[in-house]
Amino acid sequence: MNRPAQVNRPGQTLWLICITVLLAGCVSQPPPPAAIPADALLVVIDDPRPTRLRSFVDAPGYGAPIAYAADPILQRYANTIARDYNTAVVQAWPLRSLGVHCFVIEPIDQATRARLDQDPRIKWTQPFNTYTLQANPSARANSSSDNPTMHGGLPLAGTGAGTRISIIDTGVDLSHRDLMGSRIRYQDYVPAMRDDQAERHGTAVLGLIAARGADGLVHGLAPDAEVQHVRGCWEAADGQGMCNTLTLALALEAALAFQPTVLNLSLSGPRDRVLDALIAQLGVRGTIVVSAHDESRAPQERFPRPAQHVLYAMAGTTVSKHTDLEHAFVAPGQAVSLSPMNNYDLVQGHSVAAPHLTALVARLAAHQPRAPHAVHIQQLHRLLE
């Protein structure tokens, strides 16, 4: 008997958080990430709280927007630093896995930033970055009579059973008939945006991995994997999938807590020191990271940057012109997948290649669960070259 997909949303524990911070009081939701100024600055400091307070609330993000505003220690430190430089805190959040506290301040001039960078209280400063998802949904198939099927196959049998896959993307339509019975843990870390799971890009990427093919329609490539889908991105008014340093940092903390075999990032953008540190932590814990390729940026200037556990998925037929990437793989770049309201989309681009590669990694790991990620990457090279 099919069971509906499981939903795990941090907001459901809001009342518990409010009780624990009763003296501080519950706070209103912060501004949406899209409202943060494009030239705002991200400041990173060591988490000043005692160890017992840093670990009091389970990761990731300490319930996203609530705990920061309710924590007088973090609030005081961030506000004091901001006032010292005649600016104000726009948004803030702790990252337990890195032992740091991050806060975004209103734009300051270069001279002020130079002084801020020399402040011994500061670990580093960096831009507050924006990221985009790398796929283009096209002609929609609206009924079963269109008989949509997956495009492209994988060179290894299996269903991903026994593995864990994390996906960071836009929201999903968990009520889609082809997701019924899938093992999906859903979390939302896009504060103050519309709480609408039915977004196209995330639904399509999740479908490529986890769909169970109701009525003989779309079949996911690793349907028996345990999947964590984290909404770390949102759909802009023009339909483009967007993310930023805040939402991706919280989503990556969620992935670290889940301890996935493989993480799917069908997105790209500029290099980011905070996000790179979180990606490095995933590698230390044995996770392979699959990212959509970005031909517009040099390898060292993109997120995620090249590393031994980071793979790049390209839609195409050859990687010969991308010899600057050690772990670049070609995968199918076009597929029919799920779309909200029990529909289907033809999707294409590097975002589509990424879940194909993610599923293949999961299948390899299912065959050799104790092998380190270096072994699985070597097997990928043999299978796909």
d(CA 375, CA 380): 9
Give the residue carrying structure tokens 């540190």: 277
pLDDT surpasses 90 at 83: yes
**Element at 206 (helix H, strand E):** helix 200-210
- Summarize pLDDT for 297-309 with one digit per residue, the tens: 888 899 999 999 9
Per-residue pLDDT at 1 exceeds 90:
no
The reported pLDDT for the residue numbered 182 is 86
Q: Which residues contact 114 (CB under 8 A, 6 or more apart)?
A: none
> What number of other Cβ atoms are within 10 A of residue 153's Cβ?
9
List the end-to-end C-alpha distance of the chain, in Å, as a whole number.
41
Specify the pLDDT at position 282: 97
Instruction: Determine contact, residues 283/312, Cβ cutoff 8 Å.
Output: no
Q: State the chain's mean pLDDT as an integer.
A: 81
pTM: 0.85
CA distance 211 to 222: 8
**Which 8-state DSSP code applies to residue 306?**
P
What is the C-alpha separation between 130 and 270, in angstroms, rounded? Answer: 8
Q: What is the pLDDT of residue 50?
A: 81
Cα 275 to Cα 101, 154, 272, 278, distances in angstroms: 13, 30, 5, 5
Reduced DSSP (H G I as helix, E B as strand, rest coil) percent helix, strand, coil of the chain, to 5: 35, 25, 40
pLDDT at 52: 64
Q: Report pLDDT digits (tens) over 18-66.
A: 323 333 333 334 556 667 887 899 999 999 888 766 665 444 444 444 4
Q: Tens digit of pLDDT for each residue in 191-225? A: 766 655 689 999 999 999 999 877 667 889 999 99
| CA dist 371 → 22, 368, 378, 379 (Å) | 47, 6, 11, 11
pLDDT for 319? 56
Assess whether pLDDT exceeds 70 at residue 2.
no
Q: What is the pLDDT of residue 99?
A: 92
What lies within 8 Å, CB to CB, of 17 at 6+ separation is 26, 57, 63, 66, 67, 70
| Res 12 pLDDT > 70 | no
> 99: which residues sit within 8 A by CB, 6+ positions away?
46, 47, 54
The three-point CA angle 103-106-107 to 5° equals 120
